[in-house]
Structure 1
Amino acid sequence: MSSTGGSAIPSNGPTFDPFDNTPELVPLRTAARSGDWNAVRAFFAGLDSAHQLSSATALLADTAGVETFLEPAAAAFPGDPLPRTLLAHRYVYIGWEIRSDARAQHVSRDQFDQFHTWLRKAEQILIEVCAEQPAYAPAWTARLITARGLQLGQAEARRRYDRLSAHQPHHYHAQTQLLQQLCPKWSGSWEAAHGFARECATAAPDGANSGALVALAHVEHWLDLDSSERSAYMRGVPVRDDLRHAAQVSVLHPDHRPDWNSIGAHSAFAFAFSIGGHFEDAAPHFAFLGDRASEFPWQYTNDPRATFLKFRKSALGA
């Protein structure tokens, strides 16, 4: 399948819908909404990388009601990892929707109980898939999310990531999930989060999306600070230089080939540079994005669309 290129001329935008931003994914949405398992299976059969497989799995899992056709498909094809992994990932999304993205102190006991019930259902499926298919990236990626939600600890999450990376190194979806686990809000530390992000950026081939982990780690750190401390942190020279280096070895490197994760990676840099007031550095990322953006990390603002437009105007003058 073709990759996703840049869109250098902004107009009204942005759209945060991944299907609008990546037209190659539209047949998946059509098949999912119509409950057509055969069309869904055919779409996945046409994917040519673990990155595409994980991207499409996450998008399908975020589509309401798909469990109604995934459950019979998983039962009908017990030896196929695809329908079981898609179903498990859908269960994870159902559970997380019940829990919400609120901090733990704002989540009720009933929400936690339902959340954990759905994650345990997913985990039981995924354990079997990973035992049968130890190189199957979408299943291990989903198990990073269940590890976090079920509070299995830092060591177990890292073990799962290492099992995946032994077969699929530099897997961007898995890296973003482990990064969340390593943040203090999930009992990690900033030393661990920033260390992992830089490890990902350094180890990945030039032009890989993994450098965006550096931007995401700084955004998470910024979000965790008191409002009085945020501006100084992101405006600081060490953070700016860290972001510059990570961008140069990843999405701004000549070897970068835009793919389904590039919009998210450029969004991370555009957001991080902008909240630090480094608009000249943000400019090439907004030039790539045009009218497209990923929900994350723009969802960390009260009005993602207005924030995007304000920052883009500061960076590009349009």
Structure 2
Amino acid sequence: MPLIRRTAAGDGRSVVARWGRGAPVRIDRDHGDPRLAPLRDAAARGSWPEVRAALTDEAASADGEELTWLLEALMTVPGVETWISAVVAAQPGAARPDSAQHGPVEPDFAELDAVLPLLVSGARHVEWAWQARTRKMAKYVSKEQFEVFHARLRIAEEQLYEAAERAPRWAAPWHFLQISGRGLQVGQEVADRRFEAVVRRAPGHLAAHRQHLQQVCGKWGGSPARMHAFAREAMLGAEPGSPLGELVAIAHLEQWLDEDGDAGKDGGHMRRPFVVRELHEAADRSVRHPAFLRRRDWIRGVNTFALAFAVAGERDAAAALFLVLDGRVTEFPWMYLDGQDPAEPFRAWRSRVGA
């Protein structure tokens, strides 16, 4: 069934037939996935056997996007860096597979025990590095903060590259190398190769597409033209119902923030007629398509479109999405408007559209 029930409007767009009172707002960090809270709890307690068991279940060991999804939950847990290094050091130095001679192979269980700690540690060092840098503009980051930032990223790069060599079919190491590479400013050519390494292994990898969209933004050495071209190409190249349509909304929000400065004001880039058309097209191909699935962090995509339509003045389209969310807030994209409490701008924009 479609994610969003719609009624026909005269202009062919969505309308809300009936608005209810706004649901209580809550930050949703688990996105309805019952695995994430126990996984984070085990990581906070430093229980490697429990963490390993969660990562080696059938879905995760097959990789695709599942392993990245679980590692993204782990990388934000404070303190993982204090115990995972001992796990890395304790693993046997299994010989790396000779992929040039025998072709890519999956690691056996002994090799798995060598790879997974490297991935957990590498991903955590990426997040830990960005925490040291903070979300401030570069001119407000001290020399000491940059030194810590780069030191942690270099550790991440070493561990992630080793994981990639040991498990050549896995997409996850290359995904996190995208983020570390952006911090180390490896350049667009290297960044492109890292993204391509992910999508060769997992073509519809949503998290990797999100990271590459950031890479091609103007603030990281790309350009608005390249950013929009990448977002649209990814959307059109995917099956209808794919979450990749979200990239179009993110790209327009990025340009809105860049051009209009004050993220709290109306109008500007988002209300241009061609932008409104592109947002509706992207929503119809993704979150409003009957084939769209509530998988992993689908709530983040709906939050993104809710903000984009609200800022664009498309009240009916925004209200429909706010109602689907039922008060569930994700940090992205609301952190752009309030880095401390994403719930506040969520409430404000939901109220503006009357949801």
Instruction: Provide the TM-score with structure 1 as the length reference.
Output: 0.91
Matches within 5 A, 1:222-261: 222-227=256-261, 231-261=267-297
Contact 1:233–1:239 under 8 Å retained in 2: yes
2-side partners of 1:104 and 1:188: how far apart? 17
Q: Which residue of 2 aligns with 1:158?
A: 192
What secondary structure does 2:65 align onto? helix
Structure 2 unaligned residues grouped into runs of 5+: 5-18, 93-110
Contact 2:64 2:201 survives alignment (8 Å): no
Paired residues of 2:31 and 2:298 also in contact (CA < 8 A): no
Q: In the aligned structure 1, how far is the partner of 2:58 from the partner of 2:225?
A: 36
Amino acid in the other structure paired with 2:127:
Y
Consecutive aligned runs of 4 or more in structure 1 exceeding 6 Å deviation? none
| CA shift for structure 1 position 20 | 6.9
Who is 1:266 aligned against? 302
Residue 94 in structure 1 maps to residue 94 in structure 2: no
Residue identity opposite 1:108 in structure 2 = S
Report what 2:46 is aligned to. 35
Cα 1:279/1:23, change in 2 over 3 Å: farther
Q: Percent identity?
A: 37
Q: Residues 142-190 of structure 1: CA distance to partner in whole angstroms, max 9, x if unpaired?
A: 0000110000011110111111111110201111111111111111101
1:205 alignment counterpart: 239
Q: Distance in 1 between matches of 2:55 and 2:34?
A: 15
Q: Which amino acid aligns with 1:13?
A: P
d(CA) in 2 for partners of 1:10, 1:121: 49
What are the residue-to-residue correspondences of 1:301-316 with 2, within 5 Å?
Answer: 301-302=337-338, 304-315=342-353
Asked if residue 137 in structure 1 is aligned to residue 175 in structure 2, the reply is no
Listed one character per residue, the Cα deviations across residues 50-83 of structure 1 (whole Å, up to 9, x for unaligned) are: 3232122112111100122322222233533222
Q: Contact between 1:273 and 1:281, CA under 8 Å: does it hold in 2?
A: yes
| In 1: Cα distance, 2:211 partner to 2:247 partner | 10
Alignment equivalent of 2:73, drawn from 44, 59, 79:
59
Once the two structures are superposed, residues 211-250 of structure 1 have per-residue CA deviations (whole angstroms, 9 ceiling, x without a partner) of: 1011111111111113489722101111111111111111
Matches within 5 A, 1:77-116: 77=91, 79-80=111-112, 81-116=115-150
> Match of 2:81, as an amino acid?
E
The TM-score, its normalising length taken from structure 2, stands at: 0.82
AA paired with 1:186?
W
Decide whether the 8 Å contact of 2:269 with 2:275 is kept in 1: yes
2:329·2:342 contact (CA, 8 Å) conserved in 1?
Answer: no
Higher helix residue share: 1
1:3-22 per-residue CA deviation (whole Å, 9 max, x = no partner) reads xx89x987543222413754
1:167 to 189, 201, 212: 201
> What residue is the counterpart of 2:100 in the other structure?
none
State the distance in 1 between where 2:244 and 2:58 align: 21
Instruction: Count the aligned residue pairs.
Output: 312
Instruction: Say whether 1:289 aligns with 2:303.
Output: no
Query: How far apart are the structure 1 equivalents of 2:320 and 2:35?
Result: 24
Superposed CA RMSD: 2.1
CA contact (8 A) 1:17 1:294 kept: yes
Cα deviation 1:17-64 (Å, max 9, x = unaligned): 413754332211221122111111111223625323212211211110
TM superposition shift of 1:284: 2.9
Is 1:23 matched up with 2:11? no
Structure of higher CA gyration radius: 2
Which piece of structure 1 moves more, 221-230 or 246-255? 221-230
Unaligned runs of 5+ in 1: none
